[in-house]
Amino acid sequence: MQNTHAANKKKIKIMRLALFIGVILLILKFSAYFFTHSNAILTDALESIVNVLAGSFALYSIHYASRPKDEDHPYGHGKIEFLSSGIEGGMILLAGIGMIFKGGVAFFHKDVIEHADAGAYISAGTGLVNYIMGTYLIKIGKRHHSTVMVADGKHLISDTISSIGLVAGLLIIYFTGLNWIDYALTIVFGFFIVYTGSKLIKESITNLLDEADYSKLQQLIDLLNKNRHEKWIDIHNLRILKYGAHLHIDCHITLPWYDSLEDSHKEVDAVEKLVKENMEHEIEFFIHADPCLPSSCSICPITTCAVRKHAFVKRLDWTLHNVLPDQKHKLEQ
C-alpha cells in the first residue's frame, strides 16, 4: 500500500512538472507566431493549448485515480485514466482538423512570413523540450502502468515530430522564399495530428469497454504453466480487467474434490502469491475453486490419488483456447 501511495505521489509530481513546462512552451510558441506570422507556427501554438488542457485533465485524473476504493467504486477509480486519454485524443483530433482547415484557407489568403530563421530556432528548442518530457512521461507511465501518462507522452512526441517538420520547412522558406511551403506543412501536420488523436481515442474506448488484452492474458498463462502445482488440475474462465494501474483477475481453478477446505484455500493462496510476485501491476485476484469431476482424471497428474475413475493420460498445457471458456478441461474425444 505504501509503494502504491509513493508511486501516485511521484506521478502527480511529474504531471505537475509537465503541465508547467507546457505553459512555458505555449507562451514561447505564440511569441514565435507574432514574430514570424507563420501559419505553421500558429497551428503548432494552437496544439500547445491542447497540450495544456489535456495535461490539466491528466493531472486531475491521476489525482482521482489515486483515491482508495469505496462503496460506490468497489474496484477503485482507475478507469478515469482511460477516459482522460480519450478526451486528450479528442482534443488532439479537433486541433488536427483545425490545422488542416487553417492551412487550406491560407492558400487563398497568403501572409508574408518574417524572421523564418528565428522561428526555426524557437521551434527547434520547444520540440527538443517536448521530446525529452514526452519520452520521460512514457517511461514513467509504462513503469507505473499509467495509461494517461503514456498518452500524454505520446502526444508530446507527436508534437516533437511536427516541430522537426516545421523547422525544416521554415529553413526552406528562409533560403528560398517559397511561402506556400508553410501552408502545405500546416496541412501535413494536421493530418498527422488527426491520426495521433484517432489512435488515442481508439485505445481509450478499447480499455473502457474491457476488450481482452491477449498479450497480458498470455503472460499470465505462461506464468501459471511454468509454475503450476500438481493439484492445479486446470484453470478456466480466466478474465483480466484493467482499472488504471490496477489489474482485476478472475478465474476458476479445479482442485481435488476430496481436499479439505483448508487445503484448497492453501492452493488458492499459492496462485494469488505467484501472480502478485511476478506481474508488475497492482493485482486484485478473485479465484473460485471447483471440485474435479471423473472426466478430469485423464488429465490429472496426481500420483497419490486413491479414488481415480480413469487412468492419467497426459497433462494439458494451458492456452488461450482452454483457459478462457467457462468449462473444466478434458481430453478431446
Specify the CATH class of 214-323 in words. Answer: alpha beta
Residue with cell 495521433: 196
Rg (CA), the chain: 27
Nearest to 216 by CA among 253, 178, 185, 247: 247
Cell numbers describing residue 267: 492452493
pLDDT at residue number 262: 94
Nearest to 93 by CA among 3, 158, 19: 158
φ and ψ at residue 291, rounded to 5 degrees? -80, 150
Q: What residue segments make up the domains of the chain, in order of their start?
A: 2-208, 214-323
pLDDT of the chain along its 333 residues, tens only? 445 667 778 888 888 888 899 899 888 888 888 877 776 677 778 777 877 887 887 788 777 777 776 766 666 666 777 777 787 788 778 877 877 776 676 667 655 566 667 777 888 888 899 899 989 988 888 887 777 788 788 878 877 877 777 777 777 777 777 777 767 777 887 787 788 788 878 878 877 766 677 888 888 899 999 999 999 999 999 988 777 667 788 899 999 999 999 999 999 999 988 988 887 666 778 899 999 999 899 999 898 898 988 889 988 999 999 999 989 988 875
pLDDT at residue number 52: 84
Measured CA to CA, the distance from residue 166 to residue 261 in angstroms comes to 67
Q: Which CATH architecture has domain 2-208?
A: Up-down Bundle (1.20)
The full DSSP string for 272-300 is: HHHHHHHSSSEEEEEEEEEE--GGGGGG-
pLDDT at residue number 111: 57
pLDDT at residue number 222: 92
Q: Which helix (H) or strand (E) holds 303?
A: none
Number of CB atoms found within 10 A of residue 209's CB: 8
pLDDT at residue number 292: 93
Number of CB atoms found within 10 A of residue 109's CB: 8
